[in-house]
Structure 1
């Protein structure tokens, strides 16, 4: 079996890392995989894929609508002759017509976010057509995401498989000690600097913590359009001594191992890869009760779930001052990751759909 994965770029973000993890694990399970990046950005992910023996093709897409991609993808499919097309994020408007022209009959699309946020309204119209007329199978990351697909696209629930994201858990550096330093308590956030990730609320909570828990420090890994605004907010709140922007990091596991808590206060989500990485590293977690997150984290068990509300977030952080609570939740998170969120389990589930 041969699978063609198509994605806009291979930048260091959640859907891209899921594509990487899936492609590598499929290869390990004997499936031939070719990954197509519409844009010609060589990245740490593309380098890792090639190191693992996965073929990566770059198509040099122009910004905006670029109908040349239909022709380019058709040529790729006729040359590579895949059995399955698997798309991610907003590429279906190019990849599905190409699959039809090239005769690739099995077509799968992973919905990486709540359905009404995954694509623009215009692209959602294309998606509706592809799901209903072009035999594209939408895959949901959780039952919650499945419900949004049914609601937005009127697809029968029975036609929407649910497959959890997964990672190579052997890469995690498992936390052993939960005895935080008296000089600094380190909170880690890994997320794009975008409205969805709700950094502004997090920064205002840090301002409140400055008086209540002076030793708290926040490190943010990620980049995005809001970087300058976030830097300005940090300066205005006078929390420069508490918050550090680390930029994009190729390998986040060393940072996870050094953190005392992981935090993700998103306004909406699919099934965040960073949350799985934190769980696999046995970190206690504070996150919001949105999208597929409640499938991953049971409140008071693997972490604390809150609404996207500053006071609730503040209270949850303060609750995890207790070392025993951090240890119990962190170890529970690791155990749940082993049971539900491995790359091996994810790949096996996709293979069942591909067949």
Structure 2
């Protein structure tokens, strides 16, 4: 089987990282694995495995015939069977299929605002779904939405997966005191609700002044980012909450932290929680998306209601004061992630599903 992943960029987002994860994992399992980036390269370029074929399309506009032509040539030259299109990259996949009708498109839905899908409308995607051989959803709500809204009958839910990342020899430099650090990995978007986390930090600092918060994720330098920074200034949290932006070595930061958090208002199945598990960190997270399918009980982490300051603070204080609990929770989450959200488990199911849709041998 010869499969390529298509993604719009290589910025450090969830969909982008899954495109790289799939390309890298498949390169060890199938005849040909490729990764195509349509619009913008980025930090994740350094994580592409050496045996993955790579193409940057340099797409400049919505309908870019030169980019479509480059894509068509690449697909023909490499005898590609399946395009695995992530998020909005389905559009260029559909355009190229008009000239290569035998090629199959799998669309991967990573939509992160899955708390209320009733207002999610996309006519282009609906029409494009007529060309899809199958659809992968990252949570069950998205699968139900695809069943009711799109014109493709081959639907499957596959959770995201993580790989055991090797930590760079270059150590990430962190502020604060060793042994008293709390980390959050989430791009600075409103649905990630960093505002709640800042309020939590403000509540925690008087009782536990040595504990600090370390926030990793892309800063879009927009009004939301400005609002967060102003809030930190107003609450005088400059020595409690630290922003680091994006990094290709977040594993080094996770190794230096004792607790991990995710305060989101909405999620799909967040890679951040899976990474926390891989690095054996105890977690406090909000009860949104598929988080409760990763943290299935209090033995594996603490889940609180979305945007509830008092619950979040209480859960975090539990972990701060009880190292034994932290250690037990971290190990249980690690074991669950390794068992149910590993590369080996998901790729095996993925290839079996593809085989059921196609005539290709694996």
With normalisation by structure 1, the TM-score equals 0.88
Question: Where does 1:1-355 land on structure 2 (aligned, <5 Å)?
Answer: 1-41=1-41, 43-49=42-48, 51-62=49-60, 65-68=62-65, 69-114=67-112, 124-131=122-129, 133-153=130-150, 159-169=154-164, 171=166, 185-225=180-220, 226-308=224-306, 309-321=308-320, 322-355=322-355
Query: Which of 53-62 and 75-84 deviates more?
Result: 75-84
- Relative to 1, partners in 2 of residues 1:237 and 1:47: Cα closer, same or farther, differing over 3 Å? same
* 2:359 alignment counterpart: none
- Relative to 1, partners in 2 of residues 1:241 and 1:8: Cα closer, same or farther, differing over 3 Å? same
With normalisation by structure 2, the TM-score equals 0.86
Shift of 1:26: 0.6
Structure 1 contact 193–224 (Cα < 8 Å) conserved: yes
Query: Which of 142-151 and 29-38 deviates more?
Result: 142-151
- Relative to 1, partners in 2 of residues 1:197 and 1:151: Cα closer, same or farther, differing over 3 Å? farther
> What SS class does the counterpart of residue 85 from structure 1 fall into?
strand
CA distance in 1, matches of 2:150, 2:16: 24
> What SS class does the counterpart of residue 189 from structure 1 fall into?
strand
CA distance in 2, matches of 1:183, 1:53: 38
Shift of 1:304: 0.8
Structure 1 contact 298–304 (Cα < 8 Å) conserved: no
Taking only aligned residues, the RMSD between alpha carbons, in angstroms, comes to: 2.7
- Relative to 1, partners in 2 of residues 1:208 and 1:25: Cα closer, same or farther, differing over 3 Å? same
Shift of 1:325: 1.5
Shift of 1:116: 5.8
- Relative to 1, partners in 2 of residues 1:235 and 1:109: Cα closer, same or farther, differing over 3 Å? same
Structure 1 residue ranges (4+ consecutive) displaced by more than 4 angstroms after TM superposition: 114-119, 181-184
- Total equivalences in the alignment: 342
CA distance in 1, matches of 2:277, 2:256: 14
Shift of 1:44: 3.7
- Relative to 1, partners in 2 of residues 1:70 and 1:263: Cα closer, same or farther, differing over 3 Å? same
Shift of 1:123: 6.9
- Relative to 1, partners in 2 of residues 1:168 and 1:182: Cα closer, same or farther, differing over 3 Å? closer
Shift of 1:144: 3.9
- Relative to 1, partners in 2 of residues 1:182 and 1:345: Cα closer, same or farther, differing over 3 Å? same
Q: Which blocks of at least 5 consecutive residues in structure 2 are unaligned?
A: 169-175, 356-362
Structure 2 contact 181–211 (Cα < 8 Å) conserved: yes
More helix by share: 1
- Relative to 1, partners in 2 of residues 1:145 and 1:301: Cα closer, same or farther, differing over 3 Å? farther
CA distance in 2, matches of 1:291, 1:162: 13
> What SS class does the counterpart of residue 38 from structure 1 fall into?
strand
Higher relative contact order (CA 8 A, sep 6+): 1
Structure 1 contact 22–346 (Cα < 8 Å) conserved: no
Q: Which blocks of at least 5 consecutive residues in structure 1 are unaligned?
A: 174-180
- Could you give the per-residue CA deviations for residues 22-80 of structure 1, whole angstroms, max 9, x where no partner exists? 11111111341111101242x3422331x5221211111225x2343444433333333
Query: Which of 219-228 and 86-95 deviates more?
Result: 219-228
- Could you give the per-residue CA deviations for residues 116-166 of structure 1, whole angstroms, max 9, x where no partner exists? 6899x79722222233x223411122334323433554866xx32121221
* 1:178 alignment counterpart: none
CA distance in 2, matches of 1:170, 1:194: 25
> What SS class does the counterpart of residue 237 from structure 2 fall into?
coil
